Structure 1
Amino acid sequence: MNTKKLRLGPLPKTESVKLTFACPASLKADLDRYAAAYAQVYGEAVDATTLISHMLEAFIAGDQGFKRRGTTAKPPPV
């Protein structure tokens, strides 16, 4: 496996909010493998749960359809 670059770069330090969700076992296995590759590339061990929020941020940042919607939509009530 070529581990020179991963789509997800070094993780920034951010404030977090706990969120719980269920995912298929195959996705959890892929996340664990990605975490292992991340540790090889960046020399910093992380677990899969740490990667999830950063992957979602990167996904949303790259979603052109979401960007075109702008910020006019109100978030759902909490």
Structure 2
Amino acid sequence: MERNVTMDIKLDRLPDRSPVRLTISLAPDLHQALADYAALYAETYGETERVADLVPFMLRGFLDSDRAFARAQRER
């Protein structure tokens, strides 16, 4: 079915959700802290998650809580 009519709907077009692979190197103490966090997460929720699976959510939380960053993003 071809659609030629432009409609204004409430939901914008969804953003690209293709994951991007990123490789980083960590200092040993940071790696240990992340492993400790993953262990605490498992204790708290009863579910084991890999550090690599937790990090994107940790980064999102960090960026979302940085008011200066949010302000700079809005001003762009």
Regarding TM over 0.5, the answer is yes
Task: Check if 1:42 corresponds to 2:45.
Answer: yes
- Runs of 5+ in structure 2 lacking a partner? 1-16
Whole-Å separation in 2 of the counterparts to 1:71 and 1:23: 31
Q: TM-score, normalised by structure 1?
A: 0.68
- Runs of 5+ in structure 1 lacking a partner? 1-13, 74-78
- Computing the radius of gyration from Cα coordinates, the structure with the larger value is 2
Whole-Å separation in 2 of the counterparts to 1:44 and 1:58: 20
RMSD over equivalenced CA pairs, Å: 1.7
- How much identity, in percent, do the aligned residues show? 33
Task: Check if 1:21 corresponds to 2:27.
Answer: no
Whole-Å separation in 1 of the counterparts to 2:40 and 2:19: 23
- Map Cα deviations across residues 25-53 of structure 1 (whole Å, 9 max, x no partner): 10000000000000011111011111111
SS at match of 1:70: helix
Whole-Å separation in 2 of the counterparts to 1:16 and 1:49: 13
Where does structure 1 differ by over 3 angstroms across 4 or more consecutive aligned residues? none
